Amino acid sequence: MSLEEYRKKRNFGKTKEPKGGVRRDATGKIYVIQKHDASTLHYDLRLEFQGVLKSWAVPKTPPQERGIKRLAIETEDHPIEYAGFQGMIPEGEYGAGTVETWDRGTYEAEKWESKEIIVNLSGEKLKGRYCLIKFRPEENNWLFFKCE
C-alpha cells in the first residue's frame, strides 16, 4: 500500500488534511463515512486495511436498508489519520469543500478479495452486513449495499 497518489494531489502547506503515513503496526478496523461537500456532494466510505484507509466515493446517501444499491467509486488510499479529519479543504485545492463525519465505528471483514468485500459494520448509522462488489474490472466502479 502506498500514499503516493494521495500526497501528489495535495499541497500540505495549504490544506489541513493529514499527511500521515502507512501504519504497519495498525491492528484496528476503523470504519468511517465522511460527507464531502465538494464540487458535488458525496460520501467517502473508508475502511482501514493494511495500514491505510481504502476509500470509495459514494455519490448518494449510503444505504441504511436492504434493497438499496449505491455506486461506489474507488479512490486513492488515505492515511489512517484521515478518519478523524473534519474541516474545510481550501478553494483551489484537490477536493475543495467541507468534510464532516457522517458515520463512524468499526468493522469485521468476512471476505476481502479483489472484486468482492463483505464486512460487518458497527457504526452509529450503518449496522450489519454490507457488500462491495466490483462490477467493471477495467474501472473503479463498485456496488455498495446492505447484504444481510
Confidence of residue 128 (pLDDT cuts 50, 70, 90): very high
CA–CA distance, 3 with 6 (Å, rounded to integer): 5
Q: What is the mean pLDDT of residues 11-40?
A: 88
Give the three cell numbers for residue 96: 475543495
Report the share of the chain in percent with pLDDT over 90: 82
| Torsions phi, psi for 5 (to 5 deg) | -65, -40
Helix or strand or coil: residue 124? coil
pLDDT higher than 90, residue 33: yes
pLDDT of residue 26: 63
Q: What is the mean pLDDT of residues 102-115?
A: 95
Give the three cell numbers for residue 132: 462491495
pLDDT higher than 60, residue 1: no
CA–CA distance, 145 with 129 (Å, rounded to integer): 9
Q: What is the mean pLDDT of residues 120-135?
A: 96
Q: What is the pTM of this model?
A: 0.93
CA–CA distance, 126 with 58 (Å, rounded to integer): 14
pLDDT higher than 80, residue 126: yes
| pLDDT tens digits, one per residue of 10-19 | 989 999 999 9
CA–CA distance, 15 with 107 (Å, rounded to integer): 29
20-29, 89-98, 101-110, 130-139: which range is least confident on average? 20-29
pLDDT higher than 60, residue 72: yes
